Amino acid sequence: MAPILETRRLSKRFGGLRATDGVDLSIDAGEIRCLIGPNGAGKSTLFRLILGTYPPDSGEIRFRGEDVTGFLPYRRVARGMSIKFQVPGIFKDLSVEHNLTIALQQRVGRDTLQRELERLLDVLDLGTARGRRAGELSHGQQQWLEIGMAIALSPSLLLLDEPTAGMSPEETFKTGELIKRLNADGMTMVVIEHDMTFVRQVARRVTVLHLGQIFVEGSMDDIVRNDDVARIYLGRE
């Protein structure tokens, strides 16, 4: 199968620091890929390069067979890319319904808006919270609402940066099931995560980043058995 996303020798420096250093990442359509690695490994920077909020110093990004390296973020979004950042970007003073409606209005017309809204509330399990102010929701519900804002555009590729940060084990599990359900409906997912239980729950393939480079790729079993991976997490090299 042709990859939906490919980076080729992608690099980005901040001063003397190589935050992304020659990354060749290839994601097949239909995958759930987890991206792990110690703090500062360059995971979030890689997402920003993929979305286009940072321009790379060198290298190429191909999305759905097209070279999008020079595209501004909105053009990549228009082609089917969406992202949920680490920091929630919801409107805290507006209701859940209002938040989702704002996001949906970018894609669907008046005639289908209500139906799409109900579908989204159902997928996110936010039906009973629909009238509440987003700022009053639990931490987990705010994260799901944020995922809802990102999927309202019906993207073909969704990038999630630490979606379960700060969640309870139950909320984390529920987030994993949500991601699997969206994937079963055809959405390709790349997820940055620290929680290994979660990674095992969702991912078939895991990419480990270290010092801006792909350190190793493999199944979850390959990764947990790999002594070199354990060493980079312990900071002994």
Q: Which of 7, 45, 82, 141 binds ligand ADP (CB under 6 A)?
A: 45
33 binds, among ligand ADP, Mg ion, none (CB under 5 to 8 A by kind): none
Q: Segment near Mg ion (CB under 5 A), from 39-47, 99-107, 118-126, 223-231?
A: 39-47
Euclidean distance between CA atoms 22 and 59, whole angstroms: 7
Q: Segment near ligand ADP (CB under 6 A), from 38-46, 106-114, 126-134, 135-143?
A: 38-46
Residue (45 or 141) nearer to ligand ADP, CB: 45
Q: Is 44 in the site for Mg ion (CB under 5 A)?
A: yes
Residue (42 or 155) nearer to ligand ADP, CB: 42
Euclidean distance between CA atoms 220 and 28, whole angstroms: 17
In DSSP notation, the chain reads: --EEEEEEEEEEEETTEEEEEEE--EEETT-EEEEE-STTSSHHHHHHHHHTSS--SEEEEEETTEE-TT--HHHHHHTTEEEE-SS----TTSBHHHHHHHHHTTT--HHHHHHHHHHHHHHHT-GGGTTSBGGGS-HHHHHHHHHHHHHTT--SEEEEESTTTT--HHHHHHHHHHHHHHHHTT-EEEEE---HHHHHHH-SEEEEEETTEEEEEE-HHHHHH-HHHHHHHHT--
Q: Is 226 in the site for Mg ion (CB under 5 A)?
A: no
Q: Is 44 in the site for ligand ADP (CB under 6 A)?
A: yes
Q: Is 207 in the site for ligand ADP (CB under 6 A)?
A: no
Q: Is 16 in the site for ligand ADP (CB under 6 A)?
A: no
The least CB distance from residue 18 to ligand ADP, in Å, is 9
The least CB distance from residue 40 to ligand ADP, in Å, is 4
Q: Is 19 in the site for ligand ADP (CB under 6 A)?
A: yes
Q: Is 163 in the site for ligand ADP (CB under 6 A)?
A: no
Q: Segment near Mg ion (CB under 5 A), from 42-50, 73-81, 102-110, 167-175?
A: 42-50
Give the footprint of ligand ADP on this chain (CB under 6 A): 14, 17, 19, 37, 39-45
